[in-house]
Structure 1
Amino acid sequence: MRHTRASTALLLLPGLAVLLVGFLVPAVAMLLAPPDVTTGEVLARLGQMLTDPYDLAIIGRTLGLGLITTILCILLGFPIAYLLARSTSRWAGVLLALAIFPLLLSSVVRTFGWLVVLGSQGAIPQLLLRLGLVDEAPQLLYTPLAIVLGLTQLFLPLAVVASYSAVAQVDPGLDDAARGLGAGRIRTFWTVVLPLSLPGVVVASVLVFAGSITAYTTPYLLGGSRERVLATQLYTYASTTIDWAAASATALIMTILVFAISGISAVIGRRGATS
């Protein structure tokens, strides 16, 4: 047994070393010791951001957009994953491939499509205009709605993949047993499938939320300078104003948000698994 554990540790050692040197060390240096800036200056700038109404508005907007995107992705993605996992059709694999195919495309390409659809001459504003619902084509770009739509499209396939793997591990026989005891499809879904799939839903939620609050391209293209989020603000600090203290403080806030939501989701997942 000791020999097996020692062999396992040796096998893990190269990967852990690469992770430590290639990820953790640069990440800590970026967050707490950027170029020509001391850790004290970073923490001081962090304190200023947490009391400045402008920065707090950006933090709140980022958190709100991330939560809304996560909720939408789970509400849309989990039913799709459930239907695909329980499907007996020979086309189920093809449909699953189509569901996750957008992951193979660049986020820039997928986001650019929304510029065409949501612009004043785009399909949606022109449709609203021709239906007589508005007097003039509305400007849907550079709004929180545009960002949410773009992020939802961007991360929905990720939610489907994570949820599918969780639902696929739930024995379909449990569905049949619940129906045999008199439970309908909806009750079976809520009382059997969803609780057993909750750890996968938690993983999907964390992945979508982390991606949403750290995404740059989609908020930049669809939100512009009017709807700033932490990622676009970080880019401004790092490349325009060259304020490394503010850039590190912004990155630190983003990291804290991700870890906080991950911790909360882990607790929810454990309680769901033990209930």
Structure 2
Amino acid sequence: MRTRLATVLLLLPGLAFLLIGFLVPSLAMLFSPPGTATGDILVRLGQMLTDPYDLTIIGRTLLIGLVVTALCVTLGFPIAYLLARMTSRWSGVLLAVAIFPLLLSNVVRTFGWLVVLGSNGALGQLLTALGLVDEAPQLLYTPAAIVLGLTQLFLPLAIVTCYSAVSQVDAGLDNAARGLGASRTRTFWDVVLPLSLPGIVVAATLVFAGSVTAYTTPYLLGGSGNRMLATQLFTYSSISIDWASASATALVMTVLVFAVSAVSSVVARKGATS
């Protein structure tokens, strides 16, 4: 009883800070922004779900979020697996290099893509020099540019999350499977991957949530012709000062994140029981 009471007392400060500093402002923004009634927000939400322009933005945000999530998990998990199973003394250094971009500003990393993808950028000049194209293609301000930028932005997060999951899988299980005649490939698919699935689901959820709510990268790489929900939210809240539209947009973003999180939880539970 005393241990349980001590645990509750330790949790109370953090829970109070979370409630006051996060939940209260978030709920106020979603349901009661300045000078706006909840009914106005629901009306605007209904309009968004029937307006082709808003539906295009929602669909683009969802599609880009799913593509970025798939790329980050597909690229990040093999890297995490190799780093977790590496016995070299350089494994710690390589892990630090893999997650080093997390220490840099998102703006700095995104501006690097402006240099690479611009009309006079490095990639366009390379394609022209190789004779593959006569004129440098317009790579910037496209959905592909947003996907590249967000993948580079969240790949280190996927790596470090998957690395934590793989590290918790006993390497002795790999050796046992190999000793029973399983190949490296079958050991990876039948042993390591299923046991690491909860960590992979967490990585996918974090990447998707970050991709859907990212602002700087879609704004700089997508331009005004490829708006996402985050850039639209900024326009409503800071330029047009339309709080009803801003809250409706925030609600859509929140529902998308929670829906994908719920699906991920179901997948993780099924994977754990299979």
TM range (shorter): over 0.9
TM-score by length of 2: 0.99
Alpha-carbon distance in 1 for matches of 2:118, 2:163: 34
- Where 1:84 maps in the other structure, the secondary structure is helix
Which residue pairs with 2:127 in the alignment?
128
Alpha-carbon distance in 1 for matches of 2:227, 2:134: 29
Alpha-carbon distance in 1 for matches of 2:111, 2:240: 27
- Where 1:203 maps in the other structure, the secondary structure is helix
Which residue pairs with 1:253 in the alignment?
252
Which residue pairs with 1:190 in the alignment?
189
Q: Deviations over 1:29-65 (max 9, x none)?
A: 0000000001110111001000100000000000000
Q: CA deviation at 1:13?
A: 1.1
Which residue pairs with 2:16 in the alignment?
17
Q: Deviations over 1:108-145 (max 9, x none)?
A: 00000000000111111111111111121001000011
Alignment of 1:1-275 (within 5 A): 2-275=1-274
Q: CA deviation at 1:21?
A: 0.8
Q: Deviations over 1:163-202 (max 9, x none)?
A: 0000000000111111111111111100000000000000
Q: CA deviation at 1:240?
A: 0.9
Alpha-carbon distance in 2 for matches of 1:172, 1:214: 36
- Whichever residue aligns with residue 160 of structure 2, its letter is V
- Whichever residue aligns with residue 162 of structure 2, its letter is S
- Where 1:121 maps in the other structure, the secondary structure is coil
Q: CA deviation at 1:225?
A: 0.1
- Whichever residue aligns with residue 235 of structure 2, its letter is T
Alpha-carbon distance in 2 for matches of 1:11, 1:180: 46
Q: Which runs of 5+ in 1 are unaligned?
A: none
Alpha-carbon distance in 1 for matches of 2:13, 2:139: 50
- Where 2:139 maps in the other structure, the secondary structure is coil
- Where 1:90 maps in the other structure, the secondary structure is coil
Alpha-carbon distance in 1 for matches of 2:108, 2:39: 41
- Where 2:137 maps in the other structure, the secondary structure is coil
- Whichever residue aligns with residue 37 of structure 1, its letter is T
TM-score by length of 1: 0.99
Q: CA deviation at 1:151?
A: 0.1
Q: Which runs of 5+ in 2 are unaligned?
A: none
Q: Deviations over 1:245-271 (max 9, x none)?
A: 000000010000000000100110111
- Aligned-residue identity in percent: 76
Q: CA deviation at 1:9?
A: 1.0
